[in-house]
Amino acid sequence: MKNSILILLLGIVCSAAAQVQSQAFTTIEGRRFRVVLDEQTRTAAIVDFEHEIDDSEFPLTIDSRKLKFRSKDHTLKIPETVMVDGLTYTINAIGRAAFADYRNIDYVEIPETVNMIGDYAFFRSSLREVTVPGSVMSVGKKAFGNCDKLIRIAFPRNVAMGDNIYGGCRDDIIINSYGNYAQTETKKVELPVVVSSDIDENIPVSQHRAENTFAIIIANEEYQNDPDVDYAMRDGETFRKYCLQVLGIPSDNIRFQENATLNNMRTMVNWVSNVAQVYGGEAKILFYYAGHGIPDADGNTCLLPVDGTAKDLTTGYSLRNLYSTLGGLDTRNVCVFLDACFSGKQRNNDMLVAARGVRRAKEETPQGNMVVFSASKEDETAHSYPEKGHGLFTYFLCKKLQETEGNVTLGELADYVSSNVAKRSVVVLNTMQTPTTSASSVLENSWRDIKLR
């Protein structure tokens, strides 16, 4: 009798469970996926369609899978809802291994309806950048593990995380947590931090992706034949983070070189020249340099590679040649940022070339669609900002990007940097540093209204 009652009760429970949950199928980017439906809450979880995965047998041994994208940027747009038998279900979970091993997903847009990402959800996929929405409360183990192309991922600050969520990814992956702003930690070994700086914390994370913007970043600090440049490598690394996170430039579109030789610099400029050619006028170019600048007795100016010497201008990269090359490219615009001075002085105000005195450098004229932001006037020093561990110019450049989340015009950026650098240099350093901005004749009347991103 008792056994009969127990069997009856189990039957009722199983029947009820069957009514609460069922399975159906949906199509995403041309591929069929199974969805588990919760009839009571009218919600659905996307799960792996082709494979039953057991922990002891994972990782997958299947061939790479691909979605049938129509979009050029291969963005997986996970839908907010799915329709089954005339009823609408809200997608609230990405289940176990749902998108594992898909090798043509560059980006993913996860809707705010999702509150759970399961184990291995995007394991070994080709994702490049991910922002997990604030609605997500938990992320399972190895959810983004072994994603060998993943360069940046952002999580809600209070999300519950499983083991090795991004284990096996690139060593230089940027891991963000965010609330109102992003708070960055990185797996990459950081440059020695002398002091804490506010621009290196709370770096905003933009949803904007600047697919047609390309950046060259050169940070020359450790010179072979001349004094080092205080904080230059830290400046370059911080500006790179702002390009990635605030301006939304994909990592593949950025060339970053610490302690660049002359050949390194030429190679980078050649790369961006080829990029501009194949993009047929649609590319935007950013060129950032932190390091020594040198003038000769006639005022001709160069950027100094780490294998060059301030005593010999022929070992430098001519600023005139740089402007000619970048200005001659077929682009939407080119923005040049130079945290260097050309007066013969260093950031600490000592002379770069002993007994030669301050020189009056010639102001090179931007060409083509070019705007140039310089850290100081020709006869001034581009100072460091020891309290912040950065160059004074770079600090306020990044500060404005932080405050505006990158939504700034070149005119607004120029006014802010010029005003704040001048004030700080007079008040704290008792000297004058006046950043300047100059534009080519083509952009003379329009450059102030150009958006940086």
Residue listed under structure tokens 């399975």: 23
The CATH code of the domain that includes 147 is 3.80.10.10
Rounded to an integer, the average pLDDT of 169-191 is 56
The reply to whether 297 and 383 lie within a common domain is yes
pLDDT attached to residue 179: 55
Residue that terminates a domain, selected from 166, 186, 206: 186
C-beta atoms surrounding 274 within 10 Å: 11
Write down the pLDDT at residue 183. 39
Whether residues 155 and 262 fall in one domain? no
Q: Do residues 148 and 275 share a domain?
A: no
286 and 177 co-located in one domain: no
User: Burial code of 315-326, b = ≥16 C-beta within 10 A, e = fewer?
Assistant: bbbbbeebbebb
Q: Would residue 5 count as lying in a domain?
A: no
pLDDT confidence of residue 319: 92
| CA angle (397 as vertex; 392, 403 as ends), nearest 5 | 120
- Residues 447 and 134: their CA atoms lie apart, in Å, by 37
Per-residue confidence at 2, pLDDT binned at 50, 70, 90? very low
Q: What's residue 380's pLDDT?
A: 80
What was the pLDDT predicted at 64?
56
Q: How many angstroms separate the CA atoms of 325 and 270, rounded?
A: 9
Give a yes or no: residue 203 inside a domain. yes
Q: How far, in Å, CA of 270 to CA of 267, rounded? A: 5
Q: How far is CA 101 from the centre of its chain?
A: 24
pLDDT at site 144: 93
Position 8 scores a pLDDT of 41
Residue 11 has pLDDT above 50, yes or no: no
Three-state secondary-structure class, residue 294: strand
348 occurs within a structural domain: yes
Is 182 in the same domain as 202? Answer: no
Question: Domain check: are 178 and 209 in the same one?
Answer: no
Domain containing residue 36: 18-186
Euclidean distance between CA atoms 347 and 367, whole angstroms? 28
| Same domain, yes or no: 268 and 202 | yes
Give the percent of the chain with pLDDT over 90. Answer: 49
- Please state the domain count of the chain: 2
Q: Is the confidence at residue 428, as pLDDT, over 60?
A: yes
CATH number at residue 349: 3.40.50.1460
Peptide bond into 111 cis (omega under 30): no
Residue position matching structure tokens 């399961």: 118
Given 186, 221, 239, the domain boundary residue is 186
Question: Quick one: 257 and 149 in the same domain?
Answer: no
pLDDT tens, residue by residue, 110-128: 999 999 999 889 988 889 8
Amino acid type, 285:
I
Please indicate, yes or no, whether residues 171 and 206 belong to a single structural domain of this protein: no
Same domain for 219 and 342, yes or no, is: yes
Quick check: 5 pLDDT over 60?
no
Question: Given pLDDT bands bounded at 50, 70 and 90, which one contains residue 69?
Answer: confident
Residue 4 resides in a domain:
no
Reported as a single tens digit per residue, the pLDDT across 343-392 is 544 444 444 443 223 344 456 789 999 999 999 887 788 888 888 889 99
C-alpha 204, offset from chain centre: 10
Closest alpha carbon to 97 in 135, 130, 141? 141
**pLDDT tens digits for 309-355?**
888 888 999 999 999 999 999 999 999 999 998 754 444 444 444 32
Cβ contact 395:290 at 8 Å: no
The amino acid sitting at 381 is T
HSE, CB side, 13 Å, CA atoms: give it for residue 192.
4
Distance in angstroms (rounded) separating the CA atoms of residues 323 and 427: 34
Which of residues 186, 217, 242 is at a domain's end?
A: 186
Q: What span, in angstroms and rounded, lies between the C-alpha atoms of 155 and 150? A: 14
Q: How confident is the model at residue 22 (pLDDT cuts 50, 70, 90)?
A: confident
